A and B are shown apart, each in its own frame.
Chain A
Amino acid sequence: MAEVTKLIHKYLRHDKKFPHVWCPGCGIGIMLGSLIRAIDGCGFTKDETMLVSGIGCTGRLPVYVDFNTLHTTHGRALTFATGIKLAKPEMKVIVVMGDGDAVAIGGNHFIHAARRNVDMTAIILNNSVYGMTGGQYSPTTPYGMKTATSVYGNVEQAFNISELAVTAGAAFVGRGTVYHAKLLDSLMKKAFLKKGFSVVEVISHCHTQYGRINRMGSAVEMMTWQKEHAITVEKAANMKEEELKDKFRIGVLIDKKLPVFHEEYEKIRKWAKGIQ
């Protein structure tokens, strides 16, 4: 077994729930690999790591890994995670969500979590579609694209998740793809070590639903699309807007220092006790 595979196996729950639910070729496995390598790289112990998810294909991720794992209701993962982090600030809290989970049903929680700056990481796998329910359009389905509920073409405009996170005030926002796995490893590591609310958007593919109906080919062809359309932040800085028209930026989009909720609240506790 290759060293990199050995590392991943160290964190899997082998005795339960394999084989997993994901389709062959799905990007979630690559994201899970990055997540494990980043947690290992940060030196977090299994006992102090808290993995929280919502509903959907991505929501099924925590069950496979040997951390403290919590599979919540649709869209609400960040609210449960907020409670856990504030109750036990020493825990490393990571939330994994899909695009529908994070910015449709959970959109309000997402922008408020970014604003509130609770010290945790939201990882959002964006595959532009609701996969588990059979490929309906999501808030990140581009205009004109076909899905099971937009067979004539999507008439809505898509959210840009990373820009939404930046605008809502997240302390750290990074975007990667499942093609650029090494970049994803480093983005996740940076996000996990960041003090405050950090976001990593992971551009992925759903060849089973979205790719099939839009004739985008197999997982390999869809990952090739990612390779061809992703431009690093550094490279994009020297490019004209016109050249970036159908491209998206990958890398660290924002990294700033903000007061962290539980540290601020600790000051409140001291102050409140002082006036008692």
Chain B
Amino acid sequence: MKIKKVKISKKAEERILLLQGNEAIVEGALRAGCRFFAGYPITPATEISELLSVRLPRVDGTFIQMEDEIASMGAIIGASLAGIKSMTATSGPGFSLMQENIGFAAIAEVPCVIVDAMRGGPSTGLPTSPSQSDVMQSRWGTHGDHPVIVLCPSTVKECYEITIKAFNMSERFRTPVILLVDEVVAHMREKVTISDDEDIEIFNRVKPTVPPEWYIPYEDTPGGVPAMAGFGEGYRYHVTGLTHDVRGFPTERPEEIDPFIRRLFRKISQHYHDIHLGEFYQTDDAEIIIIAYGSVARSAKRAVKDARQQGVRIGLLKINTLWPFMRTAVEKALQTSKTIIVPEMNMGQISREVKRVNKSDAKIFTINKVDGTIITPDEILKKVKEVG
């Protein structure tokens, strides 16, 4: 696992702001170069739409409110195919509607960022209450075998930094990237220092340098990611949701289908090192390790600090990349400690993964809260005492 910090030079012009998570996502998106947003109002993601409707026209970008989330997802794919970095934001019900077109972005390899501010579900559920119950939907929501990158910030500052990373990864790997925030992180306000310095790493999709007649739009490369021409840039080619050959034309030939699907997975799997984001906190001597993400990671950190004061050897593995699953980091935690606690605001979506990769005799305990309220440090401490 590599924890890449956003580089900020000392000379940077810094803005100190009191920002909501959703607002920090907007700042991150604009910094990353997002110039197109299509969305549909939904709690608790609406602030992203409102703020971008004000900010985008000032930077020659475009904001459009579509007729639903299906249309929003279609529009951002269209804009991205025309060469513009694009994003949408929604919550559970809208995220469900977007799934078919997210699959299109996966198969046609269109970079884009989708924010899902998670609220309680299923269905209309709890529009203003927090939840982490879309973890599995973010991985498996669209049909068919496909890779996906899902990132999950737990602080407002991370909302800014990880949104930039989300755009970078989507551009670098030509894939939809889902930013999964829970309602607490989306609406929480914190002091954030934002630097406008140029040192922040921004990645733009690789464009073809060959003449149009030599361009093979879905050609395999060492990194598994083909160069991407924008529509209207002189490279006339075909983009389809049908399984296609290297030229982009539909194919039903097994010898063309297999390498294509495998390349889609390989372009993500051979870059786990760069995709996996997270933090080990006081785990070196830990007998108990908490694995947490989103706002719950905040409560977990507090619980670790309090328990340490009481002499408990405990640590935290905060995971910021939910998918592809951070197996290496989790396995390290499983080797360090024989007791793992996974608190989450669902019935056990990440704990299920932790159990899946557990090949040791470590015991995995869960805290599953599904009543629309946050998991508090006290609740985690209580569990620590039970299992310790």
A contact residues vs B (CB 8 Å cutoff): 16-17, 46-48, 50, 52, 62-63, 66-73, 76, 78-88, 90-91, 108-109, 112, 265, 268-269, 271-273, 276
Are B101 and A76 neighbours in the complex by a CB distance under 8 Å? yes
Verify if B211 is at the interface (C-beta below 8 Å from A): no
Verify if B218 is at the interface (C-beta below 8 Å from A): no
Q: Of B74, B81, B250, which contacts A76 at CB under 8 A?
A: B74
CA distance A268 to B101 in the complex (A): 29
Sampled A-B contacts (22; CB under 8 Å): A47-B232, A47-B236, A62-B238, A67-B236, A68-B232, A69-B236, A69-B238, A69-B239, A70-B81, A70-B238, A71-B238, A71-B242, A79-B72, A82-B71, A83-B77, A83-B86, A86-B62, A91-B232, A109-B71, A272-B54, A273-B58, A276-B58
Are A269 and B58 neighbours in the complex by a CB distance under 8 Å? yes
Q: A76-B70, A79-B71 are in contact. List 4 more A-B contacts (CB 8 A).
A: A63-B238, A73-B241, A79-B70, A269-B57
B239: nearest chain-A partner, CB-CB? A70
Are A84 and B36 neighbours in the complex by a CB distance under 8 Å? no
A78: which B residues are within 8 A, CB to CB? 74
Are B231 and A68 neighbours in the complex by a CB distance under 8 Å? yes
Q: A47-B232, A47-B236, A50-B231 are in contact. Are A73 and B100 (CB under 8 A)?
A: yes
B54: nearest chain-A partner, CB-CB? A272
CA distance A76 to B348 in the complex (A): 35
A66: which B residues are within 8 A, CB to CB? 236
Q: Of A71, A112, A273, which contacts B240 at CB under 8 A?
A: A71
Are A70 and B60 neighbours in the complex by a CB distance under 8 Å? no
B36: which A residues are within 8 A, CB to CB? 83, 86-87
CA distance A66 to B247 in the complex (A): 13
B70: which A residues are within 8 A, CB to CB? 76, 79, 109
Verify if B76 is at the interface (C-beta below 8 Å from A): yes
Verify if B82 is at the interface (C-beta below 8 Å from A): yes
A48: which B residues are within 8 A, CB to CB? 232
Are B236 and A82 neighbours in the complex by a CB distance under 8 Å? no
B66: nearest chain-A partner, CB-CB? A79
Are A46 and B236 neighbours in the complex by a CB distance under 8 Å? yes
Verify if B208 is at the interface (C-beta below 8 Å from A): no
A85: which B residues are within 8 A, CB to CB? 78
Q: A72-B74, A112-B71 are in contact. Are A87 and B62 (CB under 8 A)?
A: yes
Are B83 and A109 neighbours in the complex by a CB distance under 8 Å? no
Are A88 and B74 neighbours in the complex by a CB distance under 8 Å? no
Q: Of A16, A84, A108, which contacts B231 at CB under 8 A?
A: A84
Are A79 and B78 neighbours in the complex by a CB distance under 8 Å? yes
Q: Of A63, A67, A69, A82, which contacts B75 at CB under 8 A?
A: A82
Verify if B64 is at the interface (C-beta below 8 Å from A): yes
Nearest 9 pairs of A and B residues by beta carbon: A83-B78, A79-B74, A83-B75, A87-B82, A83-B79, A71-B240, A80-B78, A272-B57, A87-B79
Count CB-based A-B contacts (< 8 Å). Answer: 139
Min CB distance B80 to A, Å, is 8
Q: A68-B236, A80-B74, A84-B81 are in contact. Are A17 and B250 (CB under 8 A)?
A: yes
CA distance A204 to B68 in the complex (A): 31
Q: A16-B247, A47-B232 are in contact. Are A265 and B68 (CB under 8 A)?
A: no
Q: A48-B232, A63-B249, A273-B57 are in contact. Are A83 and B104 (CB under 8 A)?
A: no
B100: which A residues are within 8 A, CB to CB? 73, 76
CA distance A47 to B235 in the complex (A): 8
Are A63 and B240 neighbours in the complex by a CB distance under 8 Å? yes
Min CB distance B110 to A, Å, is 10
CA distance A146 to B133 in the complex (A): 46
Min CB distance A139 to B, Å, is 18
B241: nearest chain-A partner, CB-CB? A73
A271: which B residues are within 8 A, CB to CB? 57
Min CB distance B252 to A, Å, is 12
Min CB distance A269 to B, Å, is 4
Verify if B140 is at the interface (C-beta below 8 Å from A): no
Are A88 and B83 neighbours in the complex by a CB distance under 8 Å? yes
B81: which A residues are within 8 A, CB to CB? 70, 80, 83-84
CA distance A195 to B301 in the complex (A): 58
A112: which B residues are within 8 A, CB to CB? 66-67, 71
Q: Of A71, A83, A269, A276, which contacts B82 at CB under 8 A?
A: A83
Min CB distance A64 to B, Å, is 10
Min CB distance B183 to A, Å, is 27
Are B78 and A82 neighbours in the complex by a CB distance under 8 Å? yes
B247: nearest chain-A partner, CB-CB? A16
B236: nearest chain-A partner, CB-CB? A68
Which of A16, A69, A80, A81 has the most chain B CB atoms closer than 10 A to its own CB?
A: A80
A68: nearest chain-B partner, CB-CB? B231
Verify if B234 is at the interface (C-beta below 8 Å from A): yes
B251: nearest chain-A partner, CB-CB? A17
Are A269 and B60 neighbours in the complex by a CB distance under 8 Å? yes
Verify if B149 is at the interface (C-beta below 8 Å from A): no
Min CB distance A19 to B, Å, is 14
Q: A69-B239, A73-B74, A87-B78 are in contact. Are A82 and B67 (CB under 8 A)?
A: no
B67: which A residues are within 8 A, CB to CB? 108-109, 112
CA distance A69 to B104 in the complex (A): 15
Which of B36, B71, B104, B249 has the most chain A CB atoms closer than 10 A to its own CB?
A: B71
Q: Of A76, A84, A91, A272, which contacts B71 at CB under 8 A?
A: A76
Verify if B281 is at the interface (C-beta below 8 Å from A): no
Q: Of A83, A90, A265, which contacts B74 at CB under 8 A?
A: A83
